[in-house]
Amino acid sequence: MTHVTEAELLQHVPNELFINGKWVPAADGATLTVHDPATGKVIKTIADAGVADGAAALDAAVAAQAGWAATPPRVRGEILRRAFDLLQERKQEFALLMTIEMGKPLAEAYGEVAYGGEFLRWFSEEAVRVTGRYGTNPEGTGRMIVSQHPVGPCFLITPWNFPLAMATRKIAPALAAGCTVVIKPAELTPLTTLFFVRLLEEVGLPAGVVNVITTSTSAAVSGPIIADPRLRKLSFTGSTPVGQKLIQQSAQGVLRTSMELGGNAPFVVFEDADLDKAVAGAIAAKFRNVGQACTAANRFIVHESIADEFARRVTEKVADFTVGRGTEDGVTIGPLINQAAIDKADTLVQDALGRGATLLTGGSAIAGHGTFYQPTVLSGVAPGSDILREEIFGPVLAISTFGDEDEAVRLANDTEYGLVGYVFTQDLARGHRMIERLHTGMMGLNVGVLSNAAAPFGGVKQSGLGREGGLEGIHEYLSTKYTLLPDP
């Protein structure tokens, strides 16, 4: 493994747009700056794409589409596999880059390299498994063929919280299916995508298959791309309000969309749970990525008979956290992404306290450089508190209680979101009932982290449409065609 310094690494990261196989500045020369949330300092200045650059990127994706769709699936898969292999060689660089631009502790950044990389390996294998059907129709008068075809040029929009995995989770299935793409990473963390696309270039991806635009004017640049009839698919990961706007824009062209949106995960602990496992699961489900995950446990719904003990034990663990810049040894909690994230977490905590919650630890921002918030535990959170309704996206663990299973189900489902639910119980029958009764796209039964490239990731209700990963993931980028042949 190579060991680069931060300065060397940042020099190696491209600072331009990648359009039709070339690194180019924004047409009007505009730039934007990227900051380290742990220090507030500018770490890199990169191209700031405008509408003309978005149009050029889509032109390139459209021009490359037919050639890429005609490229043998095995060849497409081998490019993804080489990307997987090269990512393993560069894991130190990718992990460090994510820690610098996004803030997550280095150990977690390595975890994201592993998770994000798996999409490359998984879809390198799936590329050759796209199949169809052939059969006699029920009347016996003809033969039915069902075939799968690449959807066409795709626009991929990703958030800042998992800079590598959110990119690979979309790029890998799109390329495996034979689609070309324009990707627009979040302006807060664009460097990882630029660095990853440089890697794709190195493993021999043909020009125009993947194009990257980084921009500070996402809405203005995205609008014309989404409105262009040559675009065939929009895949978005981000907040529900932005997803709703993009669905509205997509309606005009009846554009196919995948939407991976917000969450408000319930974490239900029954009185028969193994408390050691529940506490370990709670810490992972809440504090991974400093709470900035769509899958983060948002509402801890704990049986009233064990709520005090659960609260005492999680508070003990939280007291052991070390807050700091994610590059420093032993740090377990990094900064939040920006001041707005601090303000949001703090407003939710103050609202809960105002409605009678008890503060067990933390509860305020940490003064100084960078945007840090104390890891916080609240108990006795009252119904109606904003923290039960909104995504916290910060290191705040909020506990409320329930009396019986029906009440637990009612509280857990009392949200417009439906991404993931966590349930801790040792009663197998109860666990089975909860799988059926929770309105979510995913469920962790006695586990606090469940994402896996081999599994379909996605939600119901306002958490989104479609699935990423698993056998399902590639179908987001394929369209099904039915052909009837006359009886021979």
Q: Which residues are catalytic?
A: 260
261 binds ligand NAD (CB under 6 A): yes
Site string (385-424) toward ligand NAD, x via CB under 6 A: ------x---------------------------x-----
360 binds ligand NAD (CB under 6 A): no
Which residue carries 């799936």 as its tokens? 126
CA-based R_g, the chain, Å: 23
Stated length of the chain: 488
182 binds ligand NAD (CB under 6 A): no
Nearer to ligand NAD, 49 or 378 (CB): 49
239 binds ligand NAD (CB under 6 A): yes
CA 429 to chain centre: 32
Minimum CB separation of residue 464 from ligand NAD in Å reads 6
Nearer to ligand NAD, 15 or 158 (CB): 158
Identify which range of 80-88, 181-189, 428-436, 469-477 contacts ligand NAD by CB under 6 A.
Answer: 181-189
* Range 84-90, long-range pairs (CB < 8 A, 24+ positions): 84/117, 84/120, 84/121, 84/124, 86/199, 86/202, 86/203, 87/113, 87/116, 87/117, 87/120, 87/196, 87/199, 88/117, 89/1, 90/2, 90/199
228 binds ligand NAD (CB under 6 A): no
Minimum CB separation of residue 266 from ligand NAD in Å reads 15
Nearer to ligand NAD, 99 or 222 (CB): 222
Token representation of residue 49: 């794409």
Tell me the three state secondary structure of residue 260: strand
448 binds ligand NAD (CB under 6 A): no
Please give the biggest Cα pair distance in the chain: 78
Minimum CB separation of residue 369 from ligand NAD in Å reads 22
Taking CB under 6 A as the criterion, the residue among 464, 466, 470, 473 binding ligand NAD is 464
Nearer to ligand NAD, 326 or 418 (CB): 418
**Exposure letters 458-480 (e unless 16+ CB within 10 A, then b):** bbebbbbbbbbbbeebbbbbbee
Taking CB under 6 A as the criterion, the residue among 65, 168, 193, 218 binding ligand NAD is 218
101 binds ligand NAD (CB under 6 A): no
Identify which range of 22-30, 51-59, 61-69, 215-223 contacts ligand NAD by CB under 6 A.
Answer: 215-223
Nearer to ligand NAD, 161 or 415 (CB): 161
Which residue carries 């409105």 as its tokens? 227
By CB atoms closer than 10 A (0-12, 13-18, 19+), residue 276 is exposed
Contact call for residues 304 and 403 (beta carbons, < 8 A): yes
Sign of the CA dihedral running 229, 232, 236, 240: positive
160 binds ligand NAD (CB under 6 A): yes
Taking CB under 6 A as the criterion, the residue among 49, 186, 231, 398 binding ligand NAD is 186
Nearer to ligand NAD, 274 or 386 (CB): 386
Tell me the three state secondary structure of residue 189: coil
Minimum CB separation of residue 346 from ligand NAD in Å reads 17
Nearer to ligand NAD, 123 or 162 (CB): 162
238 binds ligand NAD (CB under 6 A): yes
Contacts of 231 (CB under 8 A, 6+ apart): 58, 152, 153, 154, 155, 225, 253, 255
Q: Beta strand pairing status for 210-212 and 233-237? A: unpaired
CA–CA gap between residue 411 and residue 400 (Å, rounded): 10
- Angle, vertex CA 163, rays to CA 337 and CA 387, nearest 5: 45
Site string (285-324) toward ligand NAD, x via CB under 6 A: ---------x------------------------------
Residues that bind ligand NAD (CB under 6 A): 157-162, 166, 184, 186-187, 218-219, 222, 237-239, 242, 245, 260-263, 294, 391, 419, 464
